[in-house]
Structure 1
Amino acid sequence: MTPQQPTESFSYNDTTSVESTDPAEVDLADLIESIGKVSFAALPAGFSQVTACSSSLPPRDVVDSVLQTYLHRFAMPFLSRTSLLGHCDSTYAETSDNLYSVFLIGTIIATTAVAVVPEPLSSSLQLYHFSIQRLSITLRTKAPDPFRELEAVLTLASFARAVTPDAISSVGVTTSLLPDLRMLAGLGIRISVDHGLHPCAQSPREKALFDAAYALDVEAALLFHLPIGLPEATVHV
C-alpha cells in the first residue's frame, strides 16, 4: 500500500502575520520569507527519485532509504534517531499539524542528497524549497516545542554547509536563494541565550542544541572573519 503523502496546497505570497512576538522567531520568519522559491523548467536525471513537486515529498520507501544513509553518515547530534523517525512517521500521517515534521524531513533528505550526489543540484533545491514553504507556515503558530526554532536554524545550516559554490553555479541560482549561514549562526546563538541554554543547558538535548549552535557560530566566525558571538571562556562544550 502506498503511504499517504502530504498534499497541502500553499500560496507562497500569503501575507498572514507571525503570531509570535519573540524577536528571534520573527527574525527567522523574515529570513524564510526572504529566501523565496526556486522553480526549474526540468529536473535533472541524477538522484531523480529525491525530487519535490509542488505538493508532495518523495514516497515513504525512498525517504526511509535516504534517512538510513543520513543516520549512518551525516546524523546531526542535536536530533536523536528516535525523534527523527517520529518526525518521519508524522510527515506521512494524515494530520493537519505535521508541517514542521515535513520541513525537517524534507530538508534532511535534501541535505543528504547534496552530500551524496553534489551535482546536479536542482532536484535537491526543489525539495529544500518545498520544505521551506512548510516551515514558513509553521512559524506563524506557537510552537509546542520551545526549541523548535533553534532546531530549525541548525537544520537549515546543515543544508547551507552541504551546498558548494560550484554546485550553486552549475544550476544558475544566486546564493541569496539559499540559507544565509552567517545570519543563521547569529540566530542560533541568540535563540540559545533567549531560552537559557547559555550558560547552563539542563537536559542532554538542550546541551546538544547549544553545542551545535556554538559550533556553528565559531564556524561562521572563521569563515567570514567575524568575532565569535560568545566568549570562549564562558562556554563549556
Structure 2
Amino acid sequence: LDALDTFTWMIFTSVNGVVMVDRRLSARGVGWAAVARKRVAAIGPATAEALAEHGVRVEAVPDEYRAEALVERLRPAIGPGNRVLLPRAKETRDVLVVELRRLGASVTEVPAYQTRRVENGASRLRGALAAGAIDAVTFTSSSTARNFAELFSEEERRAWRGRVTIASIGPITAATAAEYGLPTDVMPSEYTIPALARALADYFSRVPRRSGPRGRRSV
C-alpha cells in the first residue's frame, strides 16, 4: 500500500479483501482516496458495493463472478505497461495472476488474509452429521469446501453424504467439493451468497428431505 501510486489497477476478488485493505489503511492513518484514484475492478457486485461504501468507483465487474470472467472483462483494458495490485486470500487459484501477466501486465499479488480450518467443534459437527441432524452444508469457496471435507475421513463422508444436501456457490467450488466425494445438489446461477441462500431455500421448498442418495441438482 505504501507504493500504491505506482499501480495502474487495483483488483479486489472478495469483500474480505476490501475489509482487510480497509484495516491496513486505517492502521496507517490514511483513507481510501489513493485507492479511489486508481482504476479498480471487482469480482462481483457485493465486492463492488463494499468498495462503493469507501467512495471507490469500480470500473469493471464481470457478468459471471469468477476469475476467468474477470480476465475476459479486463482483456481490452489491461496490457503491457500496466501495473496491477491484487490483494486477496493467501490460498487461492492463480488464474488472475497468470492470465493478466499473459496480457503483459505486471502483477503484484499481496496475501491480504488467510482462510484456516477450525478444529474447535469438529467432534460435535461429526456427531450431528452422523445423527442426521444437519440437512445442508453450504460452501462459499473452494477453501471452505476443502477445509470442511478434510475434517472427515473418506469413510465418514460416505456415511452421511446421501443424507445431506450440498450447496456450492459456483462451479469452481463445486469441483473442489466433488474431489472429496461431495457432489453438489444446489448451485445458483449467480455466484453470490444471497443467490446461494435463495437457491437452497427454493430447493427445499420443492424437494423433500431424503434419507438415501440423491441425484445432482443445480439451481
Q: Structure 1 length normalisation: TM-score?
A: 0.29
Q: Structure 2 length normalisation: TM-score?
A: 0.31
Higher RCO (Cα < 8 Å, 6 or more apart): 1
